[in-house]
Structure 1
Amino acid sequence: MRNLPCSRAGWLLAAATLVTNVSLAQSGDEAWQTGGNNWRQNYFSPLKDIDPSNVDQLGFAWQYDIDFDSMLEATPVVVDGTLYTSGSGGIVYALDPVTGKQRWKFEPKIDPSFNGEVGYGLTNRGVAVANGKVYVGAIDGWLYALNATNGSVAWKVDTINDRNRAYSITGAPYIAGKRVVIGNAGSELDARGYVTAYDLETGKQAWRFFTVPGDPKKGFEHPELKEAAKTWSKDSRWDVGLGGTAWDGMAYDPELNIIYVGTGNGAPWDRNVRSPGGGDNLFLSCILAINVDTGRLLWHYQTTPRDTWDYTATQKMVLADITIDSRPRKVVMQAPKNGFFYVLDRQTGELLSAKPYTKVTWASGIDMKTGRPIETGSADYTNQPRLVTPGPNGARAWQPMSYNSVTGLVYIPVFDTTAVFATVAEKFQYKKKNFNEGVHRAVVLPDGELLVLSLPEGLKFDQPLPRPKMFLRAWDPVTQKAAWEVDITGTPEKGAMIRRPGGVMSTASELVFQGDLDGHFKVFHGRTGAQLRDINVGTSIMAAPMTYKIDGVQYVAVMAGIGAYPGYADYHYGNKGRVVAFKLGGGDVPQRPLVSQVAPPSGEPPLPDTGTPEQIASGKALFAQHCAMCHANGRAPDLTRSNAATHAEFKDIVLKGGRSAKGMPNFAEVISEKDAQAIQAFIIHAAAKQTSASTTANGPNPAVK
């Protein structure tokens, strides 16, 4: 099976069926109906009350405090006069959109024994609303349908088909006609990706589409997998699951009755380990077009055949109608991790254009005849470590981009990153419910230093290390060129780990809204990039904002807060999150006190460093294997800052799920009590080596650098 601009695998486009979603039809232009506002998922609003002439009067309207240490990534929706949004693990908040007063709150009960992909702190990217129900996926894999009036559970269903693997839900559900569709997370671990559709009213499963084949000896769940298996080596690591999870971006076209699903990376990352002998490895890093009624694949496009750098295609997609070569086209657009901006005909899958929207070194371009990337070879780390751009954090992560049909531009939060990749000399060993990347890697930090996550001891890399940068980039999808850009990198503190740009929203009044990790909410002119407003919120922002109109007043709202993740930003504000709303004539945003970043937080001296050299060495290896993916790159707290009380609970936290409610999984299935003691000894040893708070505040764990 070849990667073609329009897949020829015998899956023909069915006749289009018009399906109207009742909720969207009732809401009108003054609401914000889905995560991306409408079925096009364009993060664009036709509202014009707030415009360049008066945006300087935009100020604080109300706030709703969220008392939880978690990164907030959802974009709220406003349907039928209520604002709905979600937080940690799938908590749902129903608020009055004028005052911010809570109408109801739903909190799913997460099983303490759950051990899925929770290193992001119980991430949840939003809700879907239709026909009087609010749909949300909980971190432990349950999909809930809640009554929109009071938050009571109408039905719930377990979306995980194998609880022996590390599945979870971090993305939002999508309404597609009479179905609600949800994917799962866990590619870095041992998940085998799939996407499932359920009946909106009953929760009954309508269909499930697996994104990668299982062991061919055990047969195939649907015919597409038989074809996909031909693109995998017969010696592929079927036991690991192979990844391909659909953890975020989807979009539904009600006219074509097609849901577009973006799929993730493979596991292991190293393609020579994952599928020795070659193959494109379908359907990793793909855009899939699936008939909503039947669950059958209509076409696919693979952005990164045989991906080996974690270049997911799960980033948010936009459905638009644009004119290309004097011909109107219905397109799907995506700017995935690999650095290329793709425009495809959304009915046939034909590749219309693909150009790099940021610096790319792994490929020189896309062959328009085959749709395949032209790999340069400079990123092939099979025989030696390689510096690769973009890095595994991508040219763009989950943060939404916005397409503005008035300006004709796409506003992309761009993350210009570089990383080092190297093969692992030791034979790959599958780790159940644990990270199974199968590569050595290091990322370049904002200060130009390498954060070594798993490179071999003593390995040197002499190439210049370009510092990561962030941009708000206005991109013309017709000419495939940048119209303007704003460098939003800022000046992160020494040792700051991984900064990422916030999501974007735009309006018909040609305004572009974006929050920043430094706690500022900014408004730009959509045609020029000129900054028109800067509001000091005082809480780090990564989620995309939205806008709505109630009783003749236009509001703009955003979820703010990144939780206990100092590595993500040079921030000094409280970890508690909040929803903040703005309106014309509003005041200043209430500020929170600065938070001390000394280590440990209580000011206590480090605990006695009593571990033996052998125990510390063992703990270091175990930390790199089980903990570094989160605790050494900003996804979770720096453990060297743990105080005595935390260390007293260490065994219960690691082996009994004592903090599963805050995003720390239970590792009892993968490490022993002796292992936990060794990891703790290593952490204490690393903390003892820290000489001053100024060199450790917000910085990387020195023991893994």
Structure 2
Amino acid sequence: MRFIGLAAAAALALAGCSDTNDNAGGSRSALASEGVTDALIAAGNGDEWLTYGGDYDERRFSPLDQINDGNVAQLGLAWSADLDTARGQEATPLMHDGTLYITTAWSMVKAYDAKTGALKWAYDPQVPRSKLVEVCCDAVNRGVALYGDKVYVATLDGRLVALDQDTGSVVWDKLTIPEGSQMAITGAPRIAKGMVLIGSAGAEYFTRGYLAAFDAQTGEELWRFHTVPGDPSKPQEAKHLDAAVKTWSGDFWKRGGGGTVWDSITYDPTTDLVYFGTANAEPWNPAHRNTDGAGDSLYTASIVAVRPDTGEYVWHFQETPEDRWDFDSNQQITVTELSIGGKQRRVVMHAPKNGFFYVLDAQSGKFISGKPFVDGINWASGLDPVTGKPNVNPEAKYEITGKPFVGVPGAVGAHSWTPMSYSPLTGLVYIPTNNTPQYYMGDPDWEPGETGFQLGLDVSGGDIPADKAVRDATKAALNGALVAFDPVAGKIRWKVEQSSPTNGGTLATAGNLVFQGTSTGQFKAFTADTGQELWSFPTQTGVLAAPMTYAIDGEQYVAVLVGWGGVWDVSAGKLGGGITPNVSRLLVFKLGASGKLPPLKATPELVLDPPAPSGSPQQIALGQKLYANSCSVCHGISAVAGSLNPDLRHSSTLGKKDLWQQVVHDGILAENGMVAWNKQFSREQIEAIRLYVLKRANEDKALEKGSGKAT
């Protein structure tokens, strides 16, 4: 789920079922008789955008064509709305009956008049800011679900909340994660047959993944499908887990196992199946998970199909067996009809982190094809043409070799959560791709803790030194692309190179257009058939979210949330390149509009002026290891932060040993998100971290003075 260690890039550049439900016995209430219905969602007529992926198939394709390749240059800003959460914005707006519904960071919900931008209501679930330490990738949320007369939001602290569509008032509020769990929710709920489907995030925090279904009217839990087994000495909750337990060993269950369902959920009415993706196994390092021998660790890094009425297992396909690289399979799952070998087949299409594009039979899960959609993959030489199982490079098994492995792709993934789109007109899938190599090294001395990431790795070897040439090379090696992929031929048809990774999701339309925002602050339109750039709008901030489109009174609109943040900012920091300020807004465009954004406010430039360095080499080496493996996931690799979280090199506590202890050990800033780390680190270890950051601050101060700014 996370990116840790940029030295890799520099190195390359320079060199449950019905009889198994945990909550069996629930009875589903009657489906809503008005408002958003199953039939409306299935229709996907284009005027409204009623579900996260645009329709049940999650194609993110709109049949609207008023805005097209011949007139998109006339697109202008119709209205915008400033948001009150200065974190990453990842939601896709939904539109129904003239109202646009969005979520913002911290799981807040807002409803706007879709034509004028007037705010109708706002809801704040009051998520405790201390929850941030249990969230891998910023306090983000990807959107709401609509059904009947209700709006559904899943909150960062693990609740599923139903709101009245007209007023925003709470109808019901249900805790979905286990009490006291380190799980969180960042994904958008989905609707299937009168149920709300949601999983959770947290496969770096000793959690056990699941997908659960709740009655849309009452919030009653109807079934829960666990993705990894429980205690092998006890009966499993489901038959599918009896098979899975044979692929694990040791005391894995004490650490949860991972396999969380943090994003992709797709219901297909044609097959009457729900498909969902699962995250990495936990911990990442298999040596601390399968202690009695190797195993595939089912059902992690997989696509799983279940029956929506009962949660009964139907099939699974594991894309990355025994995942040790954080190759989640939580990316968007798209269902469609393709002509393969002269026959029309209902298929599942998937572009996960591991870099291979999979086409599977939607009814059976049978492997059809799997081809690379990015260059440079080095963890596997390819996929078996019959089974789809990867041919893993022995050097990639770092826990066996005892040596570092520079993986391509890395943990950010060749493609992560940023949604792809599929156009049935061109037959192409439009994928936001990343090139972010990763440093992996097993830690044989690792011991489980209680706070922060629990990976079983030592990534301190991925630190980037205070060397301008190395840093420039690192930034140059980290980039992305918009890729148009042919799923039948298994080939890239066109590609738009981008200077930074983690660019926004995509939208395809019948106007022969593909829309995408960039991490460097542009919202763009390309021709869907050739990739020619036709239009661009300066957003003043990075774009992570995917756009959507709708029509009111005969006019087509395109809407997108903008606001930089997410995993790349909080972990890669400024060393990752492509860092822009956070200016969180909702932008809505239409033809002929001429709206303007207010001038971007200048941000004060911070100058490094740390106290003199101190500490023994042994203390600093210890601090470097502890910082890299725990602190860097929020405060940036090599102590160079991004735009959102505090840069510790500039901290006023850096020269105040006692105050540093009060913040880190005692947690006096817990309500700001900086909780106490006294269950993970001793005071001596916390002091070692301070001495390491102090050393880094002084090195970067010298770099700034000697050869110009590199951070």
Q: Judge same fold: TM > 0.5, yes or no.
A: yes
1:286 aligns with 2:302: yes
- For residues 132 and 75 of structure 2, the distance between their equivalents in structure 1, rounded to whole angstroms, comes to 43
- Post-superposition Cα deviations, 1:541-586, rounded to whole Å, max 9, x if no partner, equal 1111111111111111111111475538756764230111111112
Match of 2:647 in 1: 639
Cα drift, residue 624 of structure 1: 2.8
Match of 2:693 in 1: 683
- 1:336-347 residue pairs with structure 2 within 5 A? 336-347=352-363
Cα drift, residue 393 of structure 1: 1.4
User: Structure 1 residue aligned with 2:449, among 425, 431, 434?
Assistant: 431
Alpha carbons 1:119, 1:663 under 8 Å: kept: no
1:424–1:644: structure 2 CA closer, same or farther, 3 Å change rule? closer
User: Structure 2 residue aligned with 1:420, among 421, 426, 439?
Assistant: 439
1:656–1:108: structure 2 CA closer, same or farther, 3 Å change rule? farther
1:611–1:576: structure 2 CA closer, same or farther, 3 Å change rule? farther
- 1:240-259 residue pairs with structure 2 within 5 A? 240-259=255-274
Alpha carbons 1:639, 1:683 under 8 Å: kept: no
Match of 1:606 in 2: 610
1:55–1:222: structure 2 CA closer, same or farther, 3 Å change rule? same
User: Structure 2 residue aligned with 1:172, among 175, 184, 188?
Assistant: 188
1:266–1:466: structure 2 CA closer, same or farther, 3 Å change rule? farther
Match of 1:590 in 2: 597
- Post-superposition Cα deviations, 1:567-620, rounded to whole Å, max 9, x if no partner, equal 3875676423011111111225414425446335xxx73356566777655544
Alpha carbons 1:67, 1:576 under 8 Å: kept: no
- For residues 450 and 274 of structure 1, the distance between their equivalents in structure 2, rounded to whole angstroms, comes to 35
- 1:316-335 residue pairs with structure 2 within 5 A? 316-335=332-351
1:656–1:134: structure 2 CA closer, same or farther, 3 Å change rule? farther
Match of 1:626 in 2: 630
Match of 2:485 in 1: 475
1:100–1:300: structure 2 CA closer, same or farther, 3 Å change rule? same
Name the amino acid aligned to 1:302. Q
Alpha carbons 2:369, 2:388 under 8 Å: kept: no
1:98 aligns with 2:100: no
The more displaced of 90-99 and 631-640 is: 631-640
Alpha carbons 1:70, 1:122 under 8 Å: kept: yes
1:645–1:578: structure 2 CA closer, same or farther, 3 Å change rule? farther
Name the amino acid aligned to 1:477. P
Match of 1:550 in 2: 552
Alpha carbons 1:332, 1:346 under 8 Å: kept: yes
- Aligned with 2:394: secondary structure? coil
- Post-superposition Cα deviations, 1:204-244, rounded to whole Å, max 9, x if no partner, equal 110111111122113312221111001112x1432221211
- For residues 322 and 647 of structure 2, the distance between their equivalents in structure 1, rounded to whole angstroms, comes to 35
Q: Of Structure 1 and Structure 2, which has the larger fraction of its residues in helix?
A: 2
Q: How many residues align?
A: 659
1:484–1:571: structure 2 CA closer, same or farther, 3 Å change rule? closer
Alpha carbons 2:499, 2:578 under 8 Å: kept: no
Name the amino acid aligned to 1:631. H
1:205 aligns with 2:221: yes
Match of 1:495 in 2: none
Match of 2:162 in 1: 145
Name the amino acid aligned to 1:521. F
1:623–1:468: structure 2 CA closer, same or farther, 3 Å change rule? closer
- 1:31-430 residue pairs with structure 2 within 5 A? 31-111=48-128, 114=131, 117-163=134-180, 165-233=181-249, 235-276=250-291, 277-359=293-375, 360-381=377-398, 382-383=400-401, 384-426=403-445, 428-430=446-448
- For residues 568 and 30 of structure 1, the distance between their equivalents in structure 2, rounded to whole angstroms, comes to 42
Match of 1:538 in 2: 540
Match of 2:519 in 1: 517
The more displaced of 304-313 and 381-390 is: 381-390
Task: Specify every segment of 5 or more residues in structure 2 that has no aligned partner in the other structure, as ranges.
Answer: 1-18, 21-30, 32-36
Cα drift, residue 389 of structure 1: 1.6
Alpha carbons 2:410, 2:436 under 8 Å: kept: yes
Alpha carbons 1:118, 1:665 under 8 Å: kept: no
Alpha carbons 2:430, 2:484 under 8 Å: kept: yes
- Aligned with 1:311: secondary structure? coil
The more displaced of 604-613 and 357-366 is: 604-613
State the identity %.
Answer: 38
Name the amino acid aligned to 1:440. D
Alpha carbons 2:130, 2:671 under 8 Å: kept: no
1:402–1:444: structure 2 CA closer, same or farther, 3 Å change rule? farther
- Aligned with 2:483: secondary structure? strand
Alpha carbons 2:522, 2:538 under 8 Å: kept: yes
Cα drift, residue 150 of structure 1: 1.0
TM, length-normalised to structure 1: 0.86
Alpha carbons 1:573, 1:594 under 8 Å: kept: no
Cα drift, residue 466 of structure 1: 8.9
Alpha carbons 2:132, 2:139 under 8 Å: kept: no
Cα drift, residue 69 of structure 1: 2.0
- For residues 147 and 419 of structure 1, the distance between their equivalents in structure 2, rounded to whole angstroms, comes to 45
The more displaced of 219-228 and 561-570 is: 561-570
- For residues 79 and 699 of structure 1, the distance between their equivalents in structure 2, rounded to whole angstroms, comes to 47
The more displaced of 605-614 and 402-411 is: 605-614
Name the amino acid aligned to 1:408. G
- Aligned with 2:701: secondary structure? coil
The more displaced of 628-637 and 243-252 is: 628-637
1:147–1:677: structure 2 CA closer, same or farther, 3 Å change rule? farther
Task: Specify every segment of 5 or more residues in structure 1 that has no aligned partner in the other structure, as ranges.
Answer: 1-9, 12-18, 452-462, 491-498, 701-705
- Aligned with 2:287: secondary structure? helix
1:560 aligns with 2:575: no
Cα drift, residue 410 of structure 1: 0.3
- Post-superposition Cα deviations, 1:171-220, rounded to whole Å, max 9, x if no partner, equal 11111111111111111121111111111011111011111112211331
Alpha carbons 2:649, 2:693 under 8 Å: kept: no
Name the amino acid aligned to 1:390. P
Alpha carbons 1:191, 1:243 under 8 Å: kept: yes
Superposed CA RMSD in Å reads 3.2
Cα drift, residue 118 of structure 1: 2.4
- Aligned with 1:355: secondary structure? strand
1:336–1:568: structure 2 CA closer, same or farther, 3 Å change rule? farther
1:662–1:55: structure 2 CA closer, same or farther, 3 Å change rule? farther
- Aligned with 1:329: secondary structure? strand
- For residues 54 and 647 of structure 1, the distance between their equivalents in structure 2, rounded to whole angstroms, comes to 58
Alpha carbons 1:518, 1:569 under 8 Å: kept: no
Match of 2:41 in 1: 24
Alpha carbons 1:448, 1:467 under 8 Å: kept: no
